Amino acid sequence: MKHLNVGFVSTRFAGTDGVTLESSKWAEVFQQNGHHCYWFAGDLDRGNGSRYLVKEAHFQDPTNDWINREVIGRRERKPSVTRAIHDQRALLKEHLHTFIRQFDIHLLIVQNALTIPMHVPLGLALTETLAETQIPTICHHHDFYWERVRYSVNAINDYLRMAFPPHLPNIQHAVINSEAREQLALRTGIASIIVPNVLDFKTPPQIDEEGTRRFRASIDLAPDDIMILQPTRIVRRKGIEHAIELVKALNEPRCKLVISHEAGDEGFDYAEWLKDYACENMVDLRLVTTRLSDPWYAGESRAAAHTLWDIYPHADFITYPSLYEGFGNAFLEAIYFRKPLLVNRYATFVRDIEPLGFDLAVMDGYLSKQTVQVVREILASPERRAQMVETNYSIASQHYAYSRLRECLNLMLASLFGETMEPLVAGRREPEIDGFLTIDPLQVVFKRFGTGNCAGRLGH
């Protein structure tokens, strides 16, 4: 089969969460080989001509939100909840069948919707659709339910065994780390392939120096300020309090901590606590509050957005003190932009990434004086920074480039389609996703918390 119509399915393809970013990279690899990509989700920033938007498919849809409250943390499921689940399942299944027919889909790629049960009706609808159509499918698993404490007590074990993930002959399963592969096999008997997060290390990012200066001015950074960037969503498992502790320990008034992503996916309590914590520790904390869009997709829906790629070039140092990560997009992004970084030794990092020999500042669950001194030395020495970032770029180019993704996809495609499928090869980027969208940095909105800015902060 020379050209495929590839249908990506999830609850959301918008913004800069890990699922959205990796999906766009997969789509880029397919499009480089002449395949066409289409998108099904409850929140989309893809182009109008290739998308199928179903608001009920979003994990924050009001009905789904009510279902989650009724089944997570409880052991008994009410009949009314079961009826609601199956009503939504039937609705979403009809939309999935329409999506497949409308775009003549040859291959489905399900991104995390059959992994973590944030949307049980969508998982059930997908499972039934795949069983009924036998359409070739790749399930890309980022976060399994057994990896999250909040799902340890639930009223949907019957659905979890059926659909998260399903065991069907037309599915190839991909996971993002070694532990996930072992646990998937142990718990379900399902074999899988490890597909780590990747970046296009053969094509270094293009940096607009004038835009860099304008962006720094737009968030009120002086030319000699040191920008410490926390490039993650504001959720508890990101350990952002350690970034605040680092800036405090550096005891350098020029250091400003900038958090690039919004809060909201898991509530706002943690974000409010971080603001308090920064004020208590006299740390200048700045939140970029404009929603960031996916830098790998340059469709018309992105015209009013700002991308993470507009922020990375301005950072002097990256903090990544996560307590848990399935893999770690921000880790690769920091290396891609040749930035020095601090990493907490979360489990996947220790097992899959650290043995490759990256040159990093590391912490092991807490911020030691030795780690602070290492960061201080890195910030003080341009020579040390240059050696560090070039070493890391070289290692990542060998292990986490697009060539690794193509190899993994070719294995799965060969299993699904046999000899009729031409292998994916390195190619020139399609015009529709070529380069990066230019955004006026002065349009970025930020809010500052910390030294001298504690009064009235909770209303912002």
The pLDDT tens digits for 326-363 are 898 899 999 999 999 999 999 999 999 999 999 999 99
CB atoms within 10 A of CB 238: 26
pLDDT score at 436: 29
Q: What are phi and psi of 39, to 5 degrees?
A: -130, 130
19-33, 135-149, 289-303: the lowest-pLDDT one: 289-303
> Is the separation of the CB atoms in 260 and 229 below 8 Å?
yes
CB atoms within 10 A of CB 224: 6
62-71, 88-97, 304-313: the lowest-pLDDT one: 304-313
Residues in the chain: 460
pLDDT, one tens digit per residue, over 13-23 is: 988 788 998 99
Reported confidence tier of residue 219, pLDDT bands at 50, 70, 90: confident
Residue type, 57: A
Dist. CA 251–CA 412, nearest whole Å: 51
CB atoms within 10 A of CB 455: 7
Query: Containing H/E element for 387?
Result: helix 382-399
CA distance to 129, 295, 343, 389, per residue, from 333 (Å): 36, 11, 13, 12
Q: Which has the closest alpha carbon to 356: 387, 386, 397?
A: 397
Percent of the chain with pLDDT strictly greater than 70: 85
Each as own residue / partner, the long-range contacts of residues 144-152 (CB below 8 Å, 24 or more positions apart, any chain) are: 144/115, 144/116, 144/180, 144/183, 144/184, 145/115, 145/116, 145/117, 146/183, 146/187, 147/180, 147/183, 147/324, 147/326, 148/116, 150/72, 150/73, 151/72, 151/116, 151/117
- At residue 73, the 3 state secondary structure works out as coil
Dist. CA 292–CA 287, nearest whole Å: 12
Report CA 226 to chain centroid distance, whole Å. Answer: 26
Reported confidence tier of residue 453, pLDDT bands at 50, 70, 90: low
DSSP letter (8 states) at residue 350: I
pLDDT score at 263: 65
Has residue 109 got a pLDDT over 60? Answer: yes
- At residue 258, the 3 state secondary structure works out as strand
For all residues of the chain together, what is the average pLDDT?
88
Q: Regarding predicted confidence, which is higher, 425 or 292?
A: 425
pLDDT score at 434: 34
Q: Which residues pair with 39 in a beta bridge?
A: 8, 51
State mean pLDDT over 272-282.
94
SS percent in the chain: helix, strand, coil, step 5:
45, 15, 40
pLDDT, one tens digit per residue, over 164-198 is: 999 999 999 999 999 999 999 999 999 999 999 99
pTM to 2 decimals?
A: 0.85
CATH code of the region 5-198+401-433: 3.40.50.2000
List the structure tokens of 394: 């070289």
Reported confidence tier of residue 301, pLDDT bands at 50, 70, 90: very low
> Is the separation of the CB atoms in 28 and 433 below 8 Å?
yes
> Is the separation of the CB atoms in 262 and 272 below 8 Å?
no
Q: Which residues pair with 175 in a beta bridge?
A: 194
CA distance to 9, 213, 286, 346, 363, per residue, from 326 (Å): 20, 34, 27, 9, 18
Helix 240-250 to helix 269-280 angle, to the nearest 10 degrees?
10
State mean pLDDT over 246-255.
96
Has residue 275 got a pLDDT over 50? Answer: yes
Dist. CA 416–CA 137, nearest whole Å: 8
- At residue 26, the 3 state secondary structure works out as helix
pLDDT, one tens digit per residue, over 355-410 is: 999 999 999 999 999 999 999 999 999 999 999 999 999 999 999 999 999 999 99
Residue type, 443: Q
Has residue 459 got a pLDDT over 60? Answer: no
Instruction: Tell me the CB-side half-sphere exposure of residue 84, using CA atoms within 13 A.
Output: 19
3-7, 41-45, 214-218: the lowest-pLDDT one: 214-218
- At residue 193, the 3 state secondary structure works out as strand
pLDDT score at 112: 97
Has residue 448 got a pLDDT over 80? Answer: no
State mean pLDDT over 274-280.
94
pLDDT score at 454: 53
The CA R_g of the chain, rounded to the nearest whole Å, is: 22
Percent of the chain with pLDDT strictly greater than 90: 72
Dist. CA 59–CA 123, nearest whole Å: 11
State mean pLDDT over 131-140.
98
Reported confidence tier of residue 420, pLDDT bands at 50, 70, 90: confident
pLDDT score at 93: 98
CATH code of the region 209-399: 3.40.50.2000
Which residue reads 């939100």 in tokens? 65
Q: What are phi and psi of 8, to 5 degrees?
A: -90, 135
Q: What residue spans define the domains of the chain?
A: 5-198+401-433, 209-399
Which residue reads 């999935």 in tokens? 96
